[in-house]
Amino acid sequence: MYQKVRLIFILLTLVALGLSACAGAASGTQSAGGTVAPEPYPAVETEAAPAYPPAEPQETQASSGGEKKLILATTTSTQDSGLLETLLPDFEQQFGVSVDVIAVGTGQALQTGQDGNADVLLVHARAKEDEFMEAGHGVRREDVMYNDFIIVGPLDDPAGVKGESSAAVAFNKLADSGSTFISRGDDSGTHTKELSIWQKAELEPAGDWYVSAGQGMGEVLTMADEQQAYTLSDRATYLARTQQGTDLVILVEGDKNLFNPYGVIAVNPDKNPAIQAELANQFIDWIISVPAQAKIGQFGAEEFGQSLFIPDSTPWKNR
């Protein structure tokens, strides 16, 4: 009997020890401090879940960092005068937009818009702008500002045009004297204005004295200065160039035919799916706003004693 009880006791002890060992394996391993550290779950390899909803591929002009970008095609005078350098940082900061500037002649800027390679235009050839709008290449045009054209030339004025009140009469004198005249020759707003003055003078310029440069305003002023020649310039670019040193002087100004208005145009988004129509309209709303117009009106006043551009937007005139 005693041996039977002893055998049962031994068997129960072995069962208890076995259960204890199983419990220790299931609950973890003993840590140095006497607490039980839980075993980690085994790693499970899974594929990353796709974003929801799936992102649709889009053609945008944003940079790889997500920055919005606006393409502005404009005349060289807004660039060469320094106006854009003064204005654009305000727009970029306010709207978080980077503006890429294509500074060319007005004719080429309009062609860039017609080809759908720009979002917005800032140009100065009203007749061509109206044609652009009538052809459906643009969807919105607003007046922005104006200045004037001037005839500049050498101080000794061999053609004797100084003080003429008529640009057409001055051009007649230039042709008669055979004095060198540097033309933009680039279908720009300035070139368009020059051709209209020759037409008014009933002349078709030709000969060694008439040089068609095919260059922007800044380059043409440099050429005229080097050759002590005459040229037609917008006032803003000429005055900006005087800070870099030039011997050219203003000889003819004030003719109403030398009026030089600028307009801003939103390119028709049907031209290209990448055109930033919303940004273009934001830019237009901004540049015609009273604060931006006030800054345009102050541009150059401190350096030259006069503004290089006169504000002319509807909000400015109605303020």
Q: Indicate the domain borders of the chain.
A: 68-147+261-317, 148-258
In order of 60, 78, 288, the CA distances from 273 in angstroms are: 8, 27, 26
Cβ of 248: how many Cβ atoms within 10 Å? Answer: 22
**According to the model, what pLDDT value does residue 243 have?**
86
What is the mean pLDDT, run by run of 10 residues, along the chain of 319 residues?
Answer: 41 41 37 33 31 32 64 94 95 96 95 98 96 98 97 98 97 97 94 96 96 94 97 94 92 96 98 97 98 96 92 97
User: The dihedral of CA 27, 29, 33, 37: what is its sign?
Assistant: negative
Q: Nearest-CA neighbor of 61 among 53, 72, 51?
A: 72
DSSP state string for 150-212: EEEE-TT-TT--TT-S-HHHHHHHHHHHT--EEE--SS-HHHHHHHHHHHHTT----STTEEE
Residues of 129-138 as b/e, b for ≥16 C-beta within 10 angstroms?
beebbeeebb
Bond before 53 cis per omega within 30 degrees: yes
Q: Nearest-CA neighbor of 74 among 113, 109, 34?
A: 109
**According to the model, what pLDDT value does residue 38 have?**
33
DSSP assignment letter at 29: E
So what CATH class is 68-147+261-317?
A: alpha beta
**According to the model, what pLDDT value does residue 244 have?**
86
**According to the model, what pLDDT value does residue 30 have?**
34
Torsion angle (degrees, nearest 10) of CA 81, 84, 89, 90 = 110
DSSP assignment letter at 230: B
Domain 148-258 has CATH 3.40.190.10: yes
What long-range pairs does 163-170 form, CB within 8 A, spacing at least 24?
163/251, 163/252, 164/251, 164/252, 165/254, 165/255, 166/255, 167/197, 167/200, 167/252, 167/255, 167/257, 167/258, 168/197, 168/200, 168/201, 168/257, 169/201, 170/251, 170/252
Whether 68-147+261-317 shares its CATH topology with 148-258 is answered yes
68-75 vs 210-212, strand pairing mode = unpaired
Is residue 246 within a helix (H) or strand (E), and if so which, with residue range?
A: none
Q: Are 296 and 311 in contact (CB under 8 A)?
A: yes
